[in-house]
Structure 1
Amino acid sequence: MEIQTTKAGGILTLEFNRAERKNAITSAMYQAMADAINAADADAEVRVILFCGKPEIFTAGNDLDDFLKTSPDAPIADRPVFRFMHALSHCNKPVVAAVTGAAIGIGTTMLLHCDLVYAGDNAKFSVPFAQLGLCPEFGSSLLLPRTAGHARAAEKLMLGEAWGVQEAYDMGLISKVLPAADVLAHAQAQAAKLVALPAASIRATKRLMKSGREALQAHIDVESKMFGEMLMGAEAKEAFTAFFEKRKPDFSKFA
């Protein structure tokens, strides 16, 4: 299974399990995670959801081959990636992430919707949407400036360059930096602490902390519409063509 699911001790663990493709996420993987999150939210036995990848890679983000196979006529909100992010952003239970290696694109975006994020000293982050002729996704253009401040967020979202784990910690993106070998065990221990606490209190605390969810959803809707339009645009076509041709894209001909 490319998304390995394990339920034990009140924790549902969702593990990216496609190391041969750097844990790049396909539509089937997004749908599997969406279904798992929705089921967990309704399952009294699950008190915490935990995401993890492999020691060397969290996720390389979208599998572009698979992503571009989706019919361009399909409404953007019907794509499995949108179902996954809707499930994650609306999840009522605490979500913990254990990040080692690179978290690229949606691999970083999804962390903005998690509650506790623990990262290894080998972790790197990037949101390279502008480099692909696209715009930010799933509330990142709202949440990242809110977390890190406008200037830092603009640098990350506009230039799309990767940044390291210490800067991610300084920006408030992650909860704690640990040696890579210790990240998963620490995240599991923190998740176990949450399991032992009153479930209703934890859900209420999360709900209060996420109070502005309606405004966030409205922002995501605007982003999604713009993302869908830009995905069909000439700049995105040039970016994706260059990616598959293994060359540097040329955006100089676009106004």
Structure 2
Amino acid sequence: MANPIAISRDGNVMVLTINRPDKRNALTHEMYYQLCDGLQQAEKDPEIHACLLRGQSNCFTAGNDLSNFLADGGFDESNAAARFIQLLPTLSKPLVAAVGGNAVGIGCTLLPHCDMVIAADTATFMLPFVNLGIVPEAGSSTLIPQMCGGPLAAELLLLGEPFDVERAKQVGLVNYSCTEAELMDLAMTYAQKFASRPPQAMQQAKRLLKLSQPQLGQVMQAEFSALGERLASDETRRVIQARLKR
């Protein structure tokens, strides 16, 4: 069986590939741990200057594996997904995402933590948290309103309807779009551009950019608390169980 998170190198770029296409790259606890381990390895390695996160050209990730998520029975800082979420804003090295196909849930909310996002022109985005009986995560309840304003953020986060790459660019989730065939090469081109700059200056500049988000940690803690409450509720369990039966 192929590793669901494949890690490789291309020069000074670490490539992390979500590799569970038979399940639309839905993320399990073990996959979150592997992503964290790979990103932390990149942080410690002086030869790695940037990271590229990708799925396949026709699938980024369908978000959390719902059966795995529900079986956990709760949500706190020790949860594998929480570990990944808390790691994202602390990364010192540039992170590029290549988004093809579906980007659902965490597949969307991780994007504001990336330094560049390249998406296929056929990509579809969705933030279905309320529809699943839960609440937004990864700081999205503050980052997305900051990016696109309150009314549009409310539409995306509260209604949870799919939107296309043009809307994603309007929101600020995506920098550039291209064809599926061009996606991986273009994303790697930008990852290599980041990796080619003086690494210490790059990392210091990235830290300065993060100074505009002083309340992010507090917001994430509030989201974790709300997620824990929702996952313990009868409403959420009924909604997710009904979704699993489809």
Q: Please, which moves more after superposition, 194-203 or 237-246?
A: 237-246
Matches within 5 A, 1:34-49: 34-49=36-51
Q: 1:28-65 deviations in whole A, cap 9, x for unaligned?
A: 00000011111111110111010011121100000111
Which runs of 5 or more structure 2 residues have no equivalent in the other structure?
Answer: none
Q: Please, which moves more after superposition, 23-32 or 78-87?
A: 78-87
Q: What percent identity do the matched residue pairs reach?
A: 36
Determine the structure 1 residue equivalent to 2:99. Answer: 99
> In the TM superposition, what is the alpha-carbon distance from 1:214 to its structure 2 partner?
3.9
- How does the TM-score come out when normalised to structure 2? 0.96
2:177 aligned with 1:159, yes or no? Answer: no
Determine the structure 2 residue equivalent to 1:173. Answer: 173
Determine the structure 2 residue equivalent to 1:251. Answer: none
Count of residues paired in the alignment: 244
C-alpha contact 1:11 1:191 (8 A) present in aligned 2 = yes
- Aligned partners of 1:87, 1:10: CA distance in 2, in Å? 21
Q: Please, which moves more after superposition, 177-186 or 25-34?
A: 177-186
SS of residue matched to 1:237? helix
C-alpha contact 1:148 1:173 (8 A) present in aligned 2 = no
Which runs of 5 or more structure 1 residues have no equivalent in the other structure?
Answer: 247-255
Determine the structure 2 residue equivalent to 1:228. Answer: 228
Determine the structure 1 residue equivalent to 2:187. Answer: 187
C-alpha contact 1:10 1:45 (8 A) present in aligned 2 = yes
> In the TM superposition, what is the alpha-carbon distance from 1:71 to its structure 2 partner?
4.5
- Aligned partners of 1:212, 1:122: CA distance in 2, in Å? 32
2:18 aligned with 1:13, yes or no? Answer: no
C-alpha contact 1:34 1:85 (8 A) present in aligned 2 = no
SS of residue matched to 2:26? coil
- Paired amino acid for 1:29: M
C-alpha root-mean-square deviation of aligned residues, in Å? 1.1
- Aligned partners of 2:121, 2:10: CA distance in 1, in Å? 27
Q: Please, which moves more after superposition, 209-218 or 106-115?
A: 209-218
Determine the structure 2 residue equivalent to 1:142. Answer: 142
C-alpha contact 1:50 1:95 (8 A) present in aligned 2 = yes
Greater RCO between the two (CA within 8 Å, min separation 6)? 2
